[in-house]
């Protein structure tokens, strides 16, 4: 029996749910005292909540489809990499490993 074909058939037959709508909160870059970090503010406004606190540049934030994670770029490793951070707050995780140095 071909297990790959069997698994593919099961997955193809499974009902598909629509992707959840992205959150209505705004995630953005903000430079304060010369340090560019990411902040989140509710759709209705209010006080921005700081999401990242690294002294390097954090930029180009994007929401995950489920709104639980923010993906962004940063040069905190000395190279530009893609990171993710829990939208509710928490330690960012590096998702890529490239060798290109930011000074080149």
Inter-residue contact 40 to 30 (CB < 8 Å): no
DSSP state of 7: H
- The two tokens of residue 18 are 């629509």
75 φ, ψ to 5°? -105, 25
Res 62 pLDDT > 80: yes
Do β-strands 35-41 and 58-63 pair in parallel, antiparallel, or remain unpaired? unpaired
Please give the Cα distance from 64 to 8 (Å, whole number).
26
12 φ, ψ to 5°? -65, -30
Tell how many helices (H) and how many strands (E) occur in the chain: 1, 7
Q: pLDDT of 65-104, one tens digit each?
A: 888 999 999 999 889 999 999 999 999 999 998 765 555 4
- The two tokens of residue 98 are 């490239």
What is the model's pLDDT at position 43?
82
């Amino acid at each position: 029996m071909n297990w790959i074909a069997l698994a593919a058939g099961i997955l193809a037959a499974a009902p598909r749910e629509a992707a959840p709508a992205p959150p209505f909160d705004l995630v953005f870059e903000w430079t304060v005292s010369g340090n560019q970090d990411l902040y989140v503010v509710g759709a209705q406004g209010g006080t921005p909540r700081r999401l990242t606190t690294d002294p390097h540049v954090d930029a180009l934030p994007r929401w995950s489809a489920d709104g639980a994670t923010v993906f962004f770029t940063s040069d905190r490793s000395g190279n530009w990499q893609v990171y993710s951070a829990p939208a509710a707050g928490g330690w960012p995780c590096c998702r890529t490993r490239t060798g290109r140095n930011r000074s080149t």
